[in-house]
Chains A and B, each alone.
Chain A
Amino acid sequence: MTGTWWIGLGLNGVIGAAFVVIGLMLGGQLTRKGQWGTNRIGAVFTALVFTCGVGHLTRAFLLAGPTFGLFGTAGVASRVAFADWHVWLADGVTAMAGVFYVIARTRDKDLLQTTRAFEDFRSRRERAIRIHDSVVQELAQAKIALEAGHHDEAQAALQEGLQASKRITSSVHQLGDESHVQSSKEGVESGG
């Protein structure tokens, strides 16, 4: 009945180790950049992944416990519960995905230095499209109008481009410490 619990032990150990490593990677960047207090989402996500790892490691210890006379009935019960091949299948895929993620992340030099779990290319593309649509197009139109001698139209396009770029800048910079950009922003607003 419980003869295959050791597969659950191995898989939970791998999952636990992978999740703890992911948590430490993200947590290390949060510490390095001093964002534990300001980046609440990053901090909570890191803690979530880390405790998931601790949970799987706890399960691995419970499974291993009876061998060393530890955990009593709970340990034996874990061995019974983890002898189900359905559980291995889910744990097996999680373990593979966890190890795969850790290896892929360590290979990504850019992401390794950030507190992001990954980068969504789609949102990156959408940001590019937004800047292109609202800023580049307006500036190009202003340039054409200027070359054609239509100063009023050039000014209107420049105004539009300026407003759009300010809007995008402030949307990019929604949260966090705004003090870094505040001084130069004030300079532009007084100048523009």
Chain B
Amino acid sequence: MNRAWLALLLGGFALLVAASVVGAHEAHAQDAVAQPAEPPTAWILASITNGVMVVTFFAIAAYLWKAIYEGGQLTANPLLTGMALIFTTCAIGHGMHFEHTILPYYAPFLGLGDAQEAVAFGTWAQTSMAHPLLILVDIVTAGLAIWYFTTRRLQAELFEGAELSEDLREREIEARRMHDSIVQSTSEALLLLQMGDEEAATEALDASLQESKEIVDTFLAQGRAVRIAPGDLKLEDRRQRTPG
């Protein structure tokens, strides 16, 4: 299955490189097409959807860069860094499309280079974004981005750190393992202690302790580069108890 994805990616890549090479040979062919005097008004919709994407993608990117910075994961976690780069550059790219569509309205006032050329370029950019298919995809993408943020905010308790999506099955297995090993054996130790069977209680307690240590090890290790700073594993909220 994974090879199929890679084949699809490489196939698409090869096809587009070929199209690019063909395109390079007739690059100037369209210069003769006259610039549209008035772009379709649908560009306004495209501009708004691009604006929404800029805000949401930058917000997602900010989450990710914060996690990279705070966890020192820039080189240790390539998938996180890759995803952060994707969202950052997507936000910048859509930001440029947004900026190009409004170029005709502010360039003349700011004296940015040749204002007439900027207005012309902006008009082309507006026209390029006004294609119905592109607008449809942009609306769906912007809608999904808003939906994603709203849903994520409502389900905030599920997310720890910068995770963008979770695997409920894994969480379930993790919860079951913790429950079946730690909770069960600790309950057993407590019950046995209350019944006065000290030896069996100690055994159950040892099992529980061992299992919880193994779970901690599982989280920390698994061959992944995780930095543990001095003092990270200290008890933070030790309750004062009077000896029994």
Chain A residues engaging chain B, CB cutoff 8 angstroms: 1-7, 9-10, 13-14, 16-18, 20-21, 24-26, 28-29, 33, 35, 38-42, 44-48, 51-52, 54-55, 58-60, 62-64, 66-67, 71, 73-82, 84, 86-87, 90-91, 93-94, 97-102, 104-106, 108, 110-112, 114-129, 131-137, 139-140, 142-143, 145-147, 150-162, 165-166, 168-177, 180-181, 184-185, 188, 191-192
Give B91's nearest chain A residue, CB to CB: A90
Q: Which residues of A contact B220 (CB under 8 A)?
A: 124-125, 128
CA distance A73 to B190 in the complex (A): 77
- A38:B179 contact, CB within 8 angstroms: no
**A77 and B125 in contact (CB under 8 A), knowing A24-B5, A41-B158, A55-B137?**
yes
Q: Which residues of A contact B92 (CB under 8 A)?
A: 90
B110 beta carbon closer than 8 Å to chain A: no
CB distance from A25 to the nearest CB of B (A): 6
Give A188's nearest chain B residue, CB to CB: B187
Q: Which of A3, A24, A82, A128 gathers the greatest number of chain B CB atoms within 10 Å?
A: A128
For B202-233 the 0/1 string (1 means CB < 8 A from A) is 10011011001101100110101110100011
- A139:B186 contact, CB within 8 angstroms: yes
Q: Which residues of A contact B209 (CB under 8 A)?
A: 136, 139-140, 143
CA distance A172 to B12 in the complex (A): 40
Residues of B68-97 at the interface with A, using a CB-CB cut-off of 8 Å, are 70-71, 73, 76-80, 82-83, 85-86, 89-90, 92-93, 96-97
For B169-198 the 0/1 string (1 means CB < 8 A from A) is 111101110111011101111110110001
Q: Which residues of A contact B28 (CB under 8 A)?
A: 2-3
- B184:A188 contact, CB within 8 angstroms: yes
B127 beta carbon closer than 8 Å to chain A: yes
CB distance from B209 to the nearest CB of A (A): 5
- A173:B134 contact, CB within 8 angstroms: no
- B184:A155 contact, CB within 8 angstroms: no
Q: Which residues of A contact B205 (CB under 8 A)?
A: 139, 142-143, 146, 158
Q: Which residues of B contact A161 (CB under 8 A)?
A: 186, 208
List 9 additional contacts besides A118-B80, A170-B175, A181-B175; criterion CB under 8 Å. Answer: A3-B28, A58-B131, A58-B137, A91-B93, A124-B226, A143-B205, A146-B201, A172-B174, A188-B187
Among the listed B168, B206, B208, which residue makes an inter-chain contact with A175, where contact means beta carbons less than 8 Å apart? Answer: B168
B112 beta carbon closer than 8 Å to chain A: no
**A136 and B213 in contact (CB under 8 A), knowing A48-B144, A116-B167?**
yes
Q: Which residues of A contact B31 (CB under 8 A)?
A: 1-2
**A124 and B212 in contact (CB under 8 A), knowing A181-B175, A184-B179?**
no
CA distance A68 to B79 in the complex (A): 38
Q: Which residues of B contact A62 (CB under 8 A)?
A: 128, 131, 134
Q: Which residues of B contact A91 (CB under 8 A)?
A: 89, 93
Q: Which residues of B contact A63 (CB under 8 A)?
A: 23
- A21:B8 contact, CB within 8 angstroms: yes
**A41 and B148 in contact (CB under 8 A), knowing A101-B86, A111-B79?**
yes
- B244:A171 contact, CB within 8 angstroms: no
CA distance A48 to B87 in the complex (A): 12
Give A45's nearest chain B residue, CB to CB: B165
**A156 and B232 in contact (CB under 8 A), knowing A97-B82, A139-B186?**
no
**Can you list 6 residue pairs at the A/B interface with Cβ under 8 Å?**
A16-B12, A64-B19, A84-B121, A87-B93, A116-B165, A158-B189
